[in-house]
Every structure is written in C-alpha cells, then in structure tokens.
C-alpha cells in the first residue's frame, strides 16, 4: 500500500483486540476469531492485536505471530489491520515487524520500548532501524505511562522527515499540548490516533485520524459511531457519545488494562475472563463496578445484577 493511500485508508475506530485465554492459560483461538467477527459486524473500522490490550509481554514470539496470522486470516481484507509489533527487545521488534509485512498487514504499530527507558537519540535510532528494514507503513505507539519515556515531538519530527513509511502515531499521552504540537511539527496529514479514551473526541477536533481505544473491546458500536458522527458533521451526536462513554471508559481503567475489559467481556459471554501472570483479575469491588456500569449502559440486562 502506497503511503499516501495508507494515510487515506487508516482512519476511524481501530479496536485493540484482547487476547483471550482458556481457563488453563492457552490462547483461545475460537473466542479470538469470534471477537474479531463481532468487531467487524459492530462497525469497527480496523483491528489491531498484540498491543497493550493484547498482553504482548505475556506471549511468546511464536504466539504473537500466531495471533497476528489468525487475525489477518479472519479479517480477510474487510477492514484494515495494524498489529502491534514492538517490544523491549530491538531484534524482536525487527522480527515481528518484518513478519507483519510478510503477512500483508496494512501497517505495523511499534511501541516506544517499555522498561528500558531509552534516551531520545536511542529512540530515534531504534525506530529508524526498524522503519528502514521494511516498506510497511509504521505507526509509532507513544505511551509514556507504560514505557516511562515520552517520545518528544522533536524526535518524532526527525523520524517523519527521515522515514517516509512512518505515517502516524498512537498517542496514549494525556498531555494535550504535546499532541497538538505533534500535528504542528509532523504535518497536518500525519495520522494522529488517540490512545487515551477521554481524548478520543478532542483529538478529532484538532485533526486526529481516529482512535485505538480499549473501550471498543466492550462497546464497539458506539465507539465507531463517535467517529462516524464526527466525519458526517454531526458534532452534537459525537459530543453526546463522548460523554455517554465516559463512565465505561473510567471503569475499564480502574485496574491495569486489559483486566477490567476481560472481566466485562466475560460477563458478556464473549470470553473466559483469564489473564496470564503477572497480571490478574481486578478486585471483587471493581468487578461489581464493571457489572453495574454495563447494566447502566444496557450492555448487560438488569437481571445480570448480583442480588
């Protein structure tokens, strides 16, 4: 896909699909396929896997490749596909990004390495080396809350100038001034995706391309409708959906993502609510908050309330 064509296509609500496990901890491939089918039927514009919501650090390299391949096969070109291919390890990131290209993914989402805390020059070298090794479009994933390092706008601008296949960024960054400066410095056609749920709507207002929101795992229809409403000029509807989704956004981050989302999907009968250690399920109190919110939003029937 030519990069200009990719910039026109890769827009909207991209769901970062969770990786479901069986009770024994194996990847539940049937549940995973069903989740992707449900996402497409519900109007999600794209699918991502093995990003933060997909628990990539709990998967082996071969498991990540299997999840990516299964997603690509299931999607079958119906919506665009942008798997997460980054890790703390440079060589693994190279291997997974090349694999995404071999699969025919529409883009690869590469995270700022977590735990390592590289300086800005090291970040530049890491991303440039990865981008230069492939022709697939690259979306930077900037998530300082997880990585403990923020990719500065100046570093992002260098990469955009030097790497034509770096076409966008998922900004899980609460600093709205920063994300404004991303578009100012990287170009108004640079694809800016929100990775912060409460900034999905505001980022559209400054020219964002959409969002990669964990909330879409639980309420894909309304998350996609928020983007559609904005695109068709129905600002009032987009604003209404923004505020309607806020209670769900809040409760899904009462504990580490994707634990509350997996609890919700378990209550909805979509998956077994299982995480791999070191992650675990939220407290009983948080689980009941999730249940209450799902009932209030008519995602679960009222009779699902615990008596």
Residue ranges for the known binding site for pyruvate are: 53, 212
Catalytic residue selected from 141, 201, 222, 270:
141
Residues 6+ apart with CB under 8 A from 87: 56, 57, 93, 96, 111, 113
3-state secondary structure 185-199: HHCCCCEEEECCHHH
**By the 8 A CB rule, do 242 and 201 touch?**
yes
Q: Is 170 a catalytic residue?
A: yes
Q: What tokens does 47 get?
A: 């699918």
Distance from C-alpha of 167 to C-alpha of 7, rounded to nearest angstrom: 7
Residues facing 47 on adjacent strands: 15, 81
Q: Is 141 a catalytic residue?
A: yes
Q: DSSP label at 283?
A: P
Residues 6+ apart with CB under 8 A from 136: 97, 100, 101, 105, 107, 108, 165
Element (H, E) at 166: strand 166-171
Catalytic residue selected from 170, 222, 262, 274:
170
Catalytic positions, written as ranges: 141, 170
């Amino acid at each position: 896909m030519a990069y200009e064509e990719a910039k026109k296509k890769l827009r909207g609500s991209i769901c970062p699909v969770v990786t479901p496990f069986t009770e024994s901890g194996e990847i539940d491939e049937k549940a995973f396929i069903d989740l992707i089918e449900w996402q497409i039927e519900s109007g999600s514009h794209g699918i991502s896997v093995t990003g933060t919501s997909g628990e990539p650090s709990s998967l082996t390299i071969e498991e990540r490749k299997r999840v990516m391949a299964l997603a690509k096969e299931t999607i079958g070109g119906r919506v665009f596909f942008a798997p997460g291919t980054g890790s703390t390890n440079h060589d693994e990131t190279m291997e997974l990004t090349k694999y995404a290209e071999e699969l025919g993914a529409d883009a690869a989402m590469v995270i700022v390495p977590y735990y390592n805390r590289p300086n800005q020059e090291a970040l530049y070298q890491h991303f440039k080396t990865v981008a230069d090794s492939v022709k697939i479009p690259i979306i930077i994933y900037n998530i300082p809350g997880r990585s403990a390092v923020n990719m500065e706008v100046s570093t992002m601008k260098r990469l955009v100038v030097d790497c034509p296949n770096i076409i966008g960024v998922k900004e899980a960054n609460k600093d709205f001034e920063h994300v404004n400066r991303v578009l100012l410095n990287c170009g108004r056609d640079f694809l800016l995706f929100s990775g912060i749920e409460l900034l999905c709507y505001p980022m559209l207002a400054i020219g964002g391309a959409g969002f990669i929101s964990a909330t879409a795992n639980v309420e894909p229809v309304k998350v996609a409708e928020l983007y559609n409403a904005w695109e068709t000029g129905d600002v009032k509807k987009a604003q209404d959906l923004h505020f309607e989704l806020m209670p769900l956004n809040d409760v899904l981050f009462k504990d580490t993502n994707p634990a509350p989302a997996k609890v919700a999907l378990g209550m909805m009968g979509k998956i077994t609510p299982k995480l791999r250690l070191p992650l675990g399920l939220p407290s009983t109190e948080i689980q009941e908050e999730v249940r209450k919110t799902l009932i209030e939003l008519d995602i679960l029937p009222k009779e699902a309330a615990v008596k």
